Amino acid sequence: KAGVTQTPRYLIKTRGQQVTLSCSPISGHRSVSWYQQTPGQGLQFLFEYFSETQRNKGNFPGRFSGRQFSNSRSEMNVSTLELGDSALYLCASSLVPTSGGAVDTQYFGPGTRLTVL
Amino acid sequence: SQQGEEDPQALSIQEGENATMNCSYKTSINNLQWYRQNSGRGLVHLILIRSNEREKHSGRLRVTLDTSKKSSSLLITASRAADTASYFCATDRAGYSTLTFGKGTMLLVSP
């Protein structure tokens, strides 16, 4: 079974631009989560989608947004890029969505490394 | 702030030795998971331990969980150079449904 794929793998943008990152989950997985990883802040949760609905959102400004399509593929968008947005953006998929109880095992893609100049 | 904090931040050992990493967290949890990341790549899930479990094994990995101390440890036995990576613990807090990661332990295994 193919793993989680993310495109593109590398991106270089300049401040003020916007960017769209794509994630295809493992076949059959319907929950997709996004994380930002930086040396200073570590791994931080951005948002989670299930059945085309955002179920959870982390503490990020509104410039960060996402969506999920009917085939479970997901995109995240960052508008008006800032230097601090330079990071590795990781997508993870799981079979079941998070509930008020436990988080299912998440399977991560290789990430998209975004550099903002 | 991070829910999980790994200790040590970095660990350097020789092949064949055991590596122990610790994770402490602040609030009640449902599950605790350990992930590995090779050099800025995606994370690989290693093991999940539920709050009502105390110990779990998977191959050369042994994870313990002490909910009274809010801590967990990951033991890698007979380390190999291929185990060189960063290791993260992640928790999902009771009442919340998101995964919170610690800052990780960088493990270097020298041949």
> pLDDT (tens digit, 9 = 90+) per residue, B27-73?
888 889 999 999 878 899 999 999 999 999 999 999 999 999 999 99
> B39 to chain A: nearest residue by CA?
A110
Q: Tell me which residue of A5, A105, A103, A110 sits closest to A56, measured CA to CA.
A: A103
CA distance A108 to chain B (A): 6
**Interchain CB distance below 8 Å, A113 and B40:** yes
Q: Which residues of B touch A4 (CB under 8 A)?
A: 42
Of B64, B27, B51, which is closest to residue A103 (Cα–Cα)? Answer: B51
CA atoms lying within 13 Å on the CB side of residue A117: 4
> What percent of chain A lies above the pLDDT cut of 90?
75
> Is residue B99's pLDDT more than 80?
yes
Higher pLDDT, A103 or A59: A59
pLDDT tens per residue, range A2-37: 899 999 999 999 999 999 999 999 999 988 999 999
pLDDT value of position B106: 95
Identify which has the larger pLDDT, B96 or A28. Answer: A28
Are the Cβ atoms of A103 and B42 closer than 8 angstroms?
no
Closest residue of chain A to B49, computed from CA coordinates: A105
Distance from CA of A86 to the nearest CA of B (A): 13
Which DSSP category does A75 fall into? E
